[in-house]
Structure formats: C-alpha cells, structure tokens
Amino acid sequence: MILNQFLLLAAVLFSLGVYGVLTRRNGVLVLMSVELILNAVNINLVAFGAFQDNVQGDVFAVFVIAVAAAEVGVGLAMVLLMYRNRKSIDFSEVDMMRG
Amino acid sequence: MVLSFLAQVEPFERPAIDWHAVAPELILLGFGALLTLLDVVFLERGRKYTSTLAGIGLLATLIPIITLAIDGQDRFLFNDAYVVDNFALIMKALFLLSGYVVVLLSTNYIAEGDYWENEYYSLLLASILGMVVMSSARDLITIFVALELLSIPAYLMATWRKRDLKSNEAGLKYYLMGVFASAIFLYGMSLLYGVTGSTILADIGEVVNEGESTSVASLGIVFVIAGFAFKVSAVPFHTWAPDTYEGAPTPVTAFLAVASKTAGFVALVQLVFVAFWGRADVYQPLLWVLAAASMTIGNLIALRQTNMVRMMAYSGVASAGYIMAPLAIAGVSGEIGDEALRAVVTYLVIYAAMNLGVFGVVMAIARKTKSAEISSYAGLFHYAPGLTTAMTIFLMALAGIPPLGGWWAKFVVFRALINADTFGGYSLAIVAAVNSVIALYYYLSVLRTMWADDAPDGDLAPLRIPPSLIGAMGLTAFATLAFGVWPRIVDTVSDVSLLGLGG
C-alpha cells in the first residue's frame, strides 16, 4: 500500500484549513476551514489504520466525525446568534474588548 | 451475502467492567440526566431546586471516590484505556470540589439574571463529567472525547447572556480558539497513532521510548503539546483568555479559569508522563519556552490592567507558566519526573482554592458596584472589611506570601526545578523568581486601592452578600489558609506517580 499519497493529501488539506482559519473573516467559512483540518485528520487516521492493519484508527475517525458534528452545531448556533445581534457574520468586527 | 458475512463475525462480548471504578462517572451522569428531566417535567416549578440538586450531585459523586481511595488499588479498564489510580482520584476530587464551589458562586447570579437556570446546571454537570473522565483517560480517543465533553458545554456557558454582545464575543473567541486547538492536537494524535499503531498511551510510550521513533513522532508531540497549550492559555496561545474571561458571566469565568485549565493540565501531564516521557529532547525545550514566555508575558501585561477580571486572566496565564515549569525538567530522571508531577498536582490543588476565592470576592463586590474595574474597589475597607480581608488572603496567597497556601505551591515548583540540577532547571527557576516579584507588585496595587483609597462619591452603604457566596468564599479561604499552614495535607494527597505505567 502506498501511504505517502494519503499523508500528502492530508497535509495539504491541513495547511489549507489552517490558512483558512487564520485569514477568513466570514464566520461560516472559518467553520468550513476547521472542518478541512478535521477531515485531514480523518484521512490520516484511516490511512494509518489501513497501513498498521488495525481497527483503532478507523474507530478514532468515527469518533472525530461524530464529535465534529456536535462542535459545528454549537459553532453555527453562535454564528446565528451573532447574526441576530449584529446583522453581520464578519469575525473581524468582533473586537469590543482589547488590552 | 450479508448473512454469510455476519456468520463469520464472532458474537460481541462485553468487556468486563469494574462498576466500582466507574461509579463516580455514572452517578454524575445520572444527576445530569435527572436535572434535564426535571426541567422537562416540572418546567418553571422545578427551577428553585436545580442548583441544590446540582450541588448534591457533585457531593454524592465524591462518595465512590472516597471508597475507591480507601480501597487504594489501581484499576485498569478497557485494555488500559481507562485507569483509576491515585492521580485520577485526586484530580477527580479536585474537579468535583471546584465544581461545587462554582455551583455555590452561580446560585444567586444565575437565578437573579433570569438566565435559563436549569440548562446552565445541566451543562455544568456535563462539563464536569468530561473533566472526571479526563482524569482517568489514558488513551488518545478517550482524551479527545473527554476534552470535547468538557469544552462544548463550556463554549455554551461562556455565551450564556445571549443578548449581550460582550458575552457573544467571549463565547465566539473561546469557541474558535478551542476548536482550532482541538483540530491541531488531533492532527498530532493522528501522527502519533500512525507511528505507533496504537491509541493507548502506555503502548505509545513503549514505542516512543525505544528510541527508534522518527521525526514524525516528534512532529506529533509538538502538535499535541501546542494544542493543549491553547487549552491551558499558555503564551503565545493565550489571546482568547482575557476577552473570554471578561465577557463571560463571572461564575463561568471562575469555572474556566480553574476547572477547565486544570483539565488541560491533567491531559498534558498524562501525555507527557505516560506517552512522551522518553522523548525529553522534544518536549523539554518546547515546554521550557512555553513556561518562560507564559510567566513573563502574562505578568508584564497583567501590570497594566485596569479591570480585575482581565488582570486575573493574565495572572492565570502566568500561573499556567508556573504549573508548566516542572514539566520542562520532567525527563531528567525518574525521580525528578515524579517530583515534577507532584509539584504540578500540588500547584493545581492550591491554585484552585486561591483563584475560586478571588472570583468569589469579585462577584460579591460586583453585586454593589456592578463593575470589576479596579478603580471601583476604592475604599472597600470602609464598608466591607470582611471582603477586603478575604481578598487580601487570596491575593497574597497568589503572590506566594507565607503562611498562605500559595507559598507552598511555588516552593515545590522551585524545589523540583533546583533538584533537576540542569541548566534548564536553574534558568527557569530564575525566571520564575523574577516573575514572583513582578506579580507581587500588581497584587499589592489592587490591595492598596482597597485598603487606602477613599470610596468614590462617599458611598458607604454596606454590601449584602447571599449565604451561598459567603459559603464559597469561606470554603476557599479556609482551604487557602490550611494548605499554607499545614502543607503536609497537600503533600499527602499529591503523593502520586504516573511513570510506572509507561516509562
């Protein structure tokens, strides 16, 4: 089995995700970038699971998928709350507190 | 085809479960479910019982922990993924007791604010359940699930005042940083799993300690430690802490500053001592830099804060540095490793008492002044001498003045650093010593405002403090004093070791 391609794909996705989280201002796009990182993790886990020939990686990936769903649920609720209170989901405007 | 496939699969056999060992988690889960049901069945009529029930739930969970401690036997469940040993028990007890103090702090605050009481306590119990699970988690998957179980309710609690823009901002920043951090350490965990082929920390430790581990394992360790540095708000990953602490409701701030930070350290300690211990070349320099930067930058920024809660946030960043410092020399030898672990546990126990106390006093004062600005504390001594004394006890303890608890916490950290007898240990001890002096300055300037300045516009009306808040402050003040006068108490409970498992 050729492990490298999977790891390379995961590394690219991870980098794209980190770049997205750091540069995007739109709330939904930031959440999508986080999802990219989590899916990079899933690809890694499943590829390593097949490579190591044990099931723990697959189990881990299922847990990551399930928990990520809960996490994004909370995140979208917060984006919605922000939209209700400010009529905008631009994260760069969220800077009432400084120091 | 499906049937023939199923015929090949062996019937599922449930692994043996030690019910005594998981009793604390089950009781806490039961009370959490009960609280949720209470809300559904009785609606508004159940409201006045919720905080009492949450408190009872937390104290009831302590009972099996005490019986387990008396039993004194290490219990290994689910192929060593879940371990109940002395370290797990002391941390569980710490989480439950700090949770109980947070319930005491929340009782009147949440009831008077008309803030969806029942949901608040259900989420609080869920978060504490995550921490209790975290104390026993010796497996990457369990650590991940426990961390999310404790974080997701905490995101919601930080956003609790949903029409308040500051609370929105607090929750949003905490959420974004938390999710980003968990994504980062998950990536690290996936690499560690890939190198070792196991998610059990002890197995990872065996492979990593054999010395044939590759640069991929080092990369995994760096990612995982960076991810947890977010959780414990270490510099340079601390930027969320001050804003979240300021914007969140104050009892939630107390919860985040103490319980959530402790949970991050519990996970970090378990990873370092059970899984990474043999790779001191990777984690020691990293933790040295994080610890030194957290202490210095946290204290320097705390100097120019005008808001008490923000100042406590930066003081918390500095404390994260002190707690992390012993880990930076943990790999020198087995003996030093054990001493470093004991120093971390001692600091966490004493820190919980001091910090919860400070937030208790902040909340009591805010009932009158509606503000956490340090300038609004002027003249407090003239109308609330008791509160002023309590705040003096807590802040002097944080600064490390004997005979209050904090000096012992700092002393064990210094002792571990000096005993390591390496350049890293001595240099970090010097950084910590300089920082203790800086910290003393800003704690003293708050106290000067309270004791010496005159009250703004001469308002000397006395403060009315509800009994639960007095209880919370009394408990924490007693603990702070007792730990300082009889350090032997903390010494006995913090006599733990994790190295026997993996190293």
> Both tokens of residue B133?
């699970």
- Closest residue in A to B184 (Cα) is A37
List, for residues A72-90, the tens digit of each pLDDT value.
Answer: 999 999 989 888 888 888 8
- If you search the block for the tokens 């607090």, which residue do you land on? B170
Average pLDDT over residues B301-316: 90
Counting residues of chain A whose pLDDT is more than 90, the rounded percentage is 48
Q: Could you check whether the bond before residue B242 is cis, i.e. omega within 30 degrees of 0?
A: no
Average pLDDT over residues B208-225: 81
| pLDDT higher than threshold 80 for residue B35 | yes
CB–CB contacts below 8 A, A to B: 115
Q: Is the CA virtual torsion B394, B399, B404, B407 positive or negative?
A: positive
Q: Is the CA virtual torsion B259, B152, B227, B174 positive or negative?
A: negative
Domain ranges of chain B: 18-502
Residue A7: list chain B partners with CB under 8 A: 194
Contact call for A52 and B197, based on CB within 8 A: yes
Average pLDDT across chain B, whole number: 87
Distance between B455 CA and the closest CA of chain A, angstroms: 26
* Cα B77 from Cα B142, distance rounded (Å): 12
**Is A37 an interface residue toward B (CB < 8 Å)?**
yes
**What is the reported pLDDT for B2?**
66
**Is it true that domain A3-91 has CATH number 1.10.287.3510?**
yes
Q: Which residues contact B416 (CB under 8 A, 6 or more apart)?
A: B326, B329, B336, B339, B340, B342, B343, B425
| pLDDT higher than threshold 80 for residue B360 | yes
**What is the reported pLDDT for B503?**
36
Contact call for B186 and A38, based on CB within 8 A: yes
* Cα B502 from Cα B274, distance rounded (Å): 5
Burial class (CB in 10 A: 0-12, 13-18, 19+), A99: middle
* Cα B249 from Cα A96, distance rounded (Å): 16
Question: Which range, of B42-46, B70-74, B129-133, B169-173, averages the lowest pLDDT?
Answer: B42-46
Helix ranges, B72-164 (H): 86-113, 117-136, 140-158
**What is the reported pLDDT for B348?**
92
In DSSP terms, which residues pair with B200 in a beta bridge?
Answer: B139
Average pLDDT over residues B211-222: 79
List, for residues A31-49, the tens digit of each pLDDT value.
Answer: 999 999 999 999 999 999 8
> Both tokens of residue B441?
């300055």
The single-letter code of the amino acid at B297 is I
Contact call for B152 and A70, based on CB within 8 A: yes
**What is the reported pLDDT for B111?**
76
List, for residues B472-491, the tens digit of each pLDDT value.
Answer: 999 999 988 888 888 887 77
Burial class (CB in 10 A: 0-12, 13-18, 19+), A26: middle
**Is A28 an interface residue toward B (CB < 8 Å)?**
no
Counting residues of chain B whose pLDDT is more than 90, the rounded percentage is 32
CB B192 within 8 A of CB B224: yes
**Is B165 an interface residue toward A (CB < 8 Å)?**
yes
List, for residues B268-279, the tens digit of each pLDDT value.
Answer: 999 998 888 878
List, for residues B364-421, the tens digit of each pLDDT value.
Answer: 888 888 888 888 888 888 888 888 899 999 999 998 888 888 888 889 898 999 888 8
Question: Would you place residue B196 in the very low, low, confident or very high pLDDT band (cuts 50, 70, 90)?
Answer: confident
* Cα B340 from Cα B497, distance rounded (Å): 10
Distance between B182 CA and the closest CA of chain A, angstroms: 9
**What is the reported pLDDT for B204?**
85
List, for residues B432-472, the tens digit of each pLDDT value.
Answer: 999 989 999 989 988 888 888 877 776 777 788 888 888 89
List, for residues B219-254, the tens digit of each pLDDT value.
Answer: 889 999 999 998 898 888 888 889 899 888 899 999
**What is the reported pLDDT for B231?**
87
Interior CA angle at B384 toward B349 and B397, to 5°? 25
Average pLDDT over residues B79-83: 85
Residue B199: list chain A partners with CB under 8 A: 56, 60
**What is the reported pLDDT for B132?**
94
Question: Which range, of B33-42, B200-209, B211-220, averages the lowest pLDDT?
Answer: B211-220
Q: Which residues contact B386 (CB under 8 A, 6 or more apart)?
A: none
**Is B437 an interface residue toward A (CB < 8 Å)?**
no
Phi-psi region of B164 (alpha: psi -120 to 50; beta: other; left: phi over 0): beta
> Both tokens of residue B396?
């002097």
CB B481 within 8 A of CB B399: no
Give the pairing of strands B82-84 and B75-77.
Answer: antiparallel
| pLDDT higher than threshold 80 for residue A67 | yes
- Which of B141, B169, B179 minimises the CB distance to A34? B179
